[in-house]
Amino acid sequence: MSLQERIDQTIRNVPDFPKPGIQFKDITPILEDPKLSEEVVAAFAQFWKGKVDAIAGVESRGFLFGFPLAMQLNVPFILIRKKGKLPYQTVSYKYDLEYGSAEIEMHVGAVKDGMNVLIHDDLLATGGTAGAAAELIKKEGGKVAGFSFLVELEFLKGADKLSSYSDVVQRIVSY
Ligand SMILES: O=P(O)(O)OC[C@H]1O[C@H](OP(=O)(O)OP(=O)(O)O)[C@H](O)[C@@H]1O
Ligand SMILES: Nc1ncnc2[nH]cnc12
């Protein structure tokens, strides 16, 4: 079975979470399988090796594979968190979600001038979060190298929203 098929069989679909009408893609069963998790990180690493100076991961599920990926590629990992969680001076950006709205922040100084940054998250839905992350990277003088996601909800057309930042969008499985 391919990696895509095994991921598809492992993800749990939870209807009506967190709101009626949303089918939630629960990736936690992948984390319970260390071998599969390792293969996921390897698939990301193979795609991005030698192409990025840093990885920015989006809270919270973007930390799960983003940090091991950064260690594997031997590049810095930058945290993008929900408002009010980061202790030092921050830059912030407001955006809309598939189910609500949010504001994300990043530490000032984490992105160095001209840094080529990969934006990583577990899932691409409307693209609001990843687009907001791209705005933060640009605000801080970085370049968006591209985006990587474990899961894309293709019907929500999030990749269209990201095309103004980069055409390089890696997704391991799409629905
Ligand atoms: O493409 P979008 O429509 O912006 O949606 C995708 C975002 O939504 C989810 O995060 P969530 O806000 O549920 O937070 P969590 O990772 O902390 O659970 C997911 O992990 C992405 O970050
Ligand atoms: N349908 C969904 N499943 C899991 N995470 C999400 N983030 C936004 N939409 C989601």
Catalytic residue among 6, 39, 59, 61: 61
pLDDT (tens, 9 = 90+) of the chain, 175 residues, equals: 999 999 999 999 999 999 999 999 999 999 999 999 999 999 999 999 999 999 999 999 999 999 999 999 999 999 999 999 999 999 999 988 767 789 999 999 999 999 999 999 999 999 999 999 999 999 999 999 999 999 999 999 999 999 999 999 999 999 9
Indicate the pairing of strand 90-97 with strand 100-107.
antiparallel
Q: Is 0.95 topped by the overall pTM?
A: yes
How high is the ipTM of this complex?
Answer: 0.98
Task: For ligand 2, say whether the CB of 123 is within 6 Å of any of its atoms.
Answer: yes
Q: pLDDT tens for residues 12-25?
A: 999 999 999 999 99
- Return the SS3 of 99: coil
Please tell me the distance between residue 123's alpha carbon and the centre of ligand 2 in angstroms: 7
**What does the angle CA 124 – CA 127 – CA 128 come to, to the nearest 5 degrees?**
130
The reply to whether 98 belongs to the active site is: yes
Nearest residue by C-alpha to atom 17 in ligand 1: 60
Catalytic residue among 6, 98, 103, 171: 98
Nearest ligand 2 atom, CA 153: 1
* Alpha-carbon span 82 to 78, nearest angstrom: 13
Secondary structure string (H, E, C) spanning 12-76: EEEECCCCCCCEEEECHHHHCCHHHHHHHHHHHHHHHCCCCCEEEEECCCHHHHHHHHHHHHCCC
For domain 51-174, say whether CATH 3.40.50.2020 is its number: yes
Please tell me the distance between residue 159's alpha carbon and the centre of ligand 1 in angstroms: 15
Amino acid at 149: F
At 90 the pLDDT is 98
What is the maximal distance between C-alpha atoms in the chain?
Answer: 47
Please tell me the distance between residue 24's alpha carbon and the centre of ligand 2 in angstroms: 5
Distance of CA 153 to the CA centre of its chain: 13
Ligand approaching nearest to the C-alpha of 80: 1
Please tell me the distance between residue 122's alpha carbon and the centre of ligand 1 in angstroms: 8
